[in-house]
Amino acid sequence: MACCLASCCASATCGLCTSVASGITRKSARIAYCGLFGASLVVSWILRETGAPLLEKLPWINTSDSFTKEWYQQQAVLRVSFGNFLFFAIYALIMIGVKDQNDRRDSWHHGGWGLKMIVWFLLVALMFFVPNVIVSIYGTLSKFGAGAFLLVQVVLLLDATHNWNDSWVEKDEKKWYIALLVISIVCYIATYAFSGILFIWFNPSGHDCGLNVFFIVMPMILAFVFAIIALHPAVNGSLLPASVISVYCAYVCYTGLSSEPHDYVCNGLNKSKAVNASTLILGMLTTVLSVLYSALRAGSSTTFLSPPSSPRSGGREALLEDPEDGKKKGGEAEARPVSYSYSFFHIIFALASMYAAMLLSGWTDSSESASLIDVGWTSVWVKICTGWVTAVLYIWTLIAPLILPDREFY
């Protein structure tokens, strides 16, 4: 029954995606992959809410009387995620070494969507026949994969802020310098104002909340350190990236604190312990937008995503357009290099599948918080550490040219 429900959900989604597969062009392929990822989240959500009673009837899954409803919900999410992960991981392996458009695999990346939907559907369905021990191993590995996905986002954010700053500085006009200064000041004000609000929410009077205070104070200290280092005469820095990273660190701190268990006295948000539809929708929407941004940036970032043969200089291209379209105009006379790493593009989605599984399964926590979306101490520490890693990476981008003067940094 559970497999039947999974098949129905996946096949319905697959049918919808197949109906538009013929209309997918090279320019919209990246959006199509994002749509497929979003479809996997919908399937995970449906099975998480409705699949537990059905999974209990499968003897190869229900191997113990001690399994709770939350455990079966986690199984449904992890198995869909496992199939999604394998789909993108296999594609990542296939696309290794694609450097120009004459490579046959270039067409595999952009076309063949009907076949892709069938393969995706089969992988998701087959995961419901996989032994529990393999799914358990995948759940453990997903914690590291989710952390890697957050790290990729941090690198892309750093790249985006530096590109933003450089593009405005290159204009060399007074109004753009004023705009940089104004935005930087606003970001810093927002950072400290938001931190003050966090003190009210997560440091209620009458309770010893030293850990929360430490979490909140760290972004405030780091924001000050960012400004000092960035404005130092020996460092080729700017205030805009420092202010944007400061806001991001404060936001990550908030997301970490909001993931604290609801019965924790220092969590002053007083959330309901019941998972409602709006929480689920908001969580999945945030994840989809996050993956969408990461995937699209993967097609234009010049930090480390471009293959060796890809041009790294010249004007930046639009996120949703592929310059390879000129292939059809020029015929087969000349092989044009691909504009981004197809393999890394699929790796992002594979890691995002792990990250989404952790959000929907409560980071495979065995406590009561496992029935909630993105709640538990594991989630707290992952997010808090993400903020700290962001700070370390940003500081490194500032001081690395001083420590390693003979190396060229992009």
149-184 pLDDT per residue, tens: 888 888 888 888 888 888 888 887 888 889 989 999
Angstrom distance (rounded) from CA 97 to CA 380: 38
Q: Tell me, what DSSP letter sits at residue 407?
A: S
Instruction: For residue range 353-398, list pLDDT tens digits in order.
Output: 998 888 888 776 655 555 566 677 888 888 899 899 999 999 998 8
Instruction: For residue range 92-122, list pLDDT tens digits in order.
Output: 999 898 887 778 888 888 888 889 999 999 9
Confidence band (pLDDT; 50, 70, 90) for 15? low
Span 401-405, mean pLDDT?
82
Average pLDDT, the chain: 78
Helix pair 277-298, 29-50: axis angle to 10 deg: 150
pLDDT at 253: 92
Confidence band (pLDDT; 50, 70, 90) for 274? very low
Angstrom distance (rounded) from CA 378 to CA 97: 36
Instruction: For residue range 196-217, list pLDDT tens digits in order.
Output: 999 988 988 878 889 999 999 9
Single pTM value for the model: 0.75
SS3 category, 337: strand
SS3 category, 206: coil
408 — alpha (psi -120 to 50), left (phi > 0) or beta?
A: beta
Confidence band (pLDDT; 50, 70, 90) for 32? confident
Angstrom distance (rounded) from CA 348 to CA 296: 10
Element (H, E) at 293: helix 277-298
pLDDT at 333: 45
Which tokens belong to 371? Answer: 């029935």
CA–CA distances in Å: residue 378 to residues 256, 285, 361, 381, 395: 10, 21, 12, 5, 26
